[in-house]
Amino acid sequence: MLRVRDDFLRAHLAIAALFCFLGFQYATWVSRLPALKTRFELSDGRIGLLLMASGIGAAASFPLVATMMKRYGSRTLATVSALVLGLVLAGFTLAPNFPVLLLVAALDGVAVGFLNVAMNAQGTALEVRFGRTAMSRLHATFSAGLGLAALLASGVNVVTTALSAHFAIASGVLALLLLLAQTGMLADEPEAAASTEPAGAGRPKRRGIPLPSRITVWMGLAMVFGTITEGAMNDWSALYLKNVAHASPQLAPMGIAVISVMMVLARLFADGWRTRFGDGRIVRVGSTVAGLGLALALLVGGVVPALIGFACVGLGVAAVTPCVYVAAARQGSDALALVAATGTTGLLAGPAVIGFVASATGLVWGMGVVAASALVVALCATRIAWPALAPAAAPAPADAVLHEA
């Protein structure tokens, strides 16, 4: 029994390092969007295009994810994509012009798409293999990575505004996280196992290619709009505080920190809330709080209301992605892969849409789109068949989830 507990803790810590890695890498460069904007003399529209390049890269990676997972396994895929993400920071520093910067952002999107699917496959397999809830806490470490990166950005800005110095320090942190991940990630075989899902499970198939059920589509929509809300706040909060609320350069990155701290705190308790209130109620109420809280902050204006509104978003959307991932895993590995793909699309492409709206109408209206997205999540949540308790029995053994996700 003690050995099982030790194995669980070691695997949990290693997989959590992956989640923290992705959050830290992502927030490291998006927290410096004001510096990139100044260096390359970018408009809000070009900032949106830069973010859209990441979304396009992620979308381009999705047809390859399932094949790469089956051929190399989630552990190898996670390691390679993490190495690429570490190199991407150097690319942002060395890019000589905007077109090259777009290519770097697209490469970042590809690597994020691969790592997102691989680490969530590892997290789902952890719950299945040991029969213990872990996904919300794993996502909490993603939020912790966001917060740590924002605090590092704020601290480095006090000493120097040089991107090279900041990204060099961040690369060292990423290397340590990747080394920690290597100590306990779950092993899997490169070849796919045969599917254990029943053929008549409400998922129509055509020539062996599974088509998503209606419930899976609603889960995908909830994930898209949920990650639009989460990603846009991380990408645009610093610019909103600086350009609209007129916060100081040292205070501007704290928007990401406020969001991340609230998300970490909520996700640490989210598994208990899910057991007590149910996943559906948590998602519906939380996304409503996020949407209305942000909308009120935008109407009032100012730094303090903005930070309060950001806190509402962090608290409200904290449990959305863990709950949707668990619900997707209950539908099978194909649903899990699809939901992970749509989540990455929303996270990376959604903020670009906000940039285009901001360029046309102003950043306040762009952030209003974020508030509306959170309310759309609440609507989608009413159409999803949520598990009564999370997690219960998984639809497939851990090895099958790792092989097929």
377-398 tens-digit pLDDT: 999 999 998 876 544 444 444 4
pLDDT of residue 150: 83
Per-residue pLDDT band at 147 (split at 50, 70, 90)? confident
CA distances from 4 to 130, 131, 155, 182, 285 (A): 8, 11, 41, 19, 36
> How big is the chain by its Cα radius of gyration, in Å?
20
Average pLDDT of the chain to the nearest whole number: 82
Of the CA atoms within 13 Å of residue 60, those in its CB half-sphere come to 13
**pLDDT surpasses 50 at 361:** yes
Q: Which residue in this structure is represented by tokens 């062996």?
A: 208
Identify whether the C-beta of residue 244 lies closer than 8 Å to the C-beta of residue 364. Answer: yes
End-to-end Cα separation, the chain, in angstroms = 29
206: part of which helix (H) or strand (E)? strand 205-206
pLDDT of residue 348: 67
Most confident of 185-194, 203-212, 224-233: 224-233
Q: Give the span between the Cα atoms of 133 and 153, in whole angstroms.
A: 33
* SS3 label, residue 205: strand
Task: Tell me the average pLDDT across 72-85.
Answer: 92
Sequence-distant (6+) residues with CB within 8 A of 366 are 232, 236, 354, 355, 357, 358
State pLDDT tens for residues 8-46.
899 999 999 999 999 999 889 888 888 888 888 888 778
Q: Which residue in this structure is represented by tokens 């890695």?
A: 21
Nearest Cα to 349, choosing from 43, 37, 48? 48
Per-residue tokens: 395? 């639809």
pLDDT of residue 87: 93
State pLDDT tens for residues 244-297.
888 877 777 788 888 878 888 898 888 778 778 888 999 999 999 999 999 999
**pLDDT surpasses 60 at 331:** yes
pTM: 0.73
Per-residue pLDDT band at 123 (split at 50, 70, 90)? confident
**pLDDT surpasses 50 at 198:** no
Pick the range with the lowest mean pLDDT from 137-151, 167-181, 346-360, 363-377: 346-360
Nearest Cα to 178, choosing from 70, 83, 285, 37? 83
**pLDDT surpasses 90 at 103:** yes
Task: Tell me the average pLDDT across 304-330.
Answer: 88
Per-residue tokens: 115? 């790592």
**pLDDT surpasses 80 at 335:** no
